[in-house]
Amino acid sequence: MSPRKSGLGRGLEALIPLAEEEATAQGVIEAPLASITPNPHQPRVPIRDQDLVELAASIEEHGIIQPLVVTRTMDGYQLIAGERRWRAARLAGLSTVPVVVKDVAPSEMLELALVENLQRADLNPLEEATAYRQLIEEFGLTQQQVARRVGKSRVAVSNTLRLLKASRPVQEA
């Protein structure tokens, strides 16, 4: 019976393939950005340039946290979900992005793109302001540092924080 070889004791290089196998087992791979085309069934209204600039700044700081969802095509991949992240990654100058590859029929692409957008629960402005205050108070960050870390302008962070000083009826509006 041959002994099973372990990555332990053989250096970091021996463990890297194990990490790559684990990522692939979970369905996340790195795909060349140039090989991905947009979803022609994108349900989201046109994406504002300022939103893309802010997201690109966040991606430059933190990378892409949530992988894009794609399907295979003859020439590469087509987006199912994540067009804002895809466009912002291009703007940020990335060459590859994390993706989850799903085998879907063209008729399912709009459905999946719509479900992905409907399932997302974005923070409301008050929740966003509370999170900014928490970063400032608990971690000693300045408004400028918060802005850089979340990919927003300092003015946007400052204006959002002002909500915390508003009356309760204004906050709940």
Paired tokens of 20: 């790559």
For residue 115, the number of C-alpha atoms closer than 13 Å in the C-beta half-sphere is 7
Paired tokens of 156: 């946007």
The candidate with the shortest Cα–Cα distance to 102, out of 115, 91, 121, is 115
Ramachandran category for residue 85: left, alpha or beta (phi over 0 → left; psi -120 to 50 → alpha): alpha
SS3 percent helix, strand, coil of the chain, rounded to 5, is 55, 15, 30
* DSSP-based three-state secondary structure for 34: helix
> Does residue 83 carry a catalytic annotation?
yes
Beta-strand relationship, 68-73 and 96-101: parallel
Paired tokens of 43: 């349900």
Q: Give the C-alpha separation, 69 to 156, whole Å.
A: 30
Catalytic one among 21, 60, 83, 138? 83
Instruction: Give me the active site residues, please.
Output: 83
